[in-house]
Structure 1
């Protein structure tokens, strides 16, 4: 999805978090700290909600 071509609004949310010994769903390392983890969100076509389009570093 190219949010620019669709004239959509985009926000980037930065998050710092720690994982426990389980490491979440396998997408992150156990017992680690992640700083400035990014979530990219765009407004849905009806402009009522935000949709996550990507995440990570």
Structure 2
């Protein structure tokens, strides 16, 4: 399995990513210049889970 480092996670309400029912999205930067926007059900828990997984990989 290849692990790609999450560089930054920021809240956004941009509608530029694919259609979703929520504009409460997270912009995730990872690897070298890659990014995506997602809309998890629970943004705060998602961020905590990513932070925990990142600590576990270090």
Q: Which has the higher helix share?
A: 2
Find the structure with the greater CA-based Rg. 1
TM-score bracket for this pair, using the shorter chain length: 0.3 to 0.5
Normalised to the residue count of structure 2, the TM-score between the two structures is: 0.33
Q: Which has the higher strand share?
A: 1
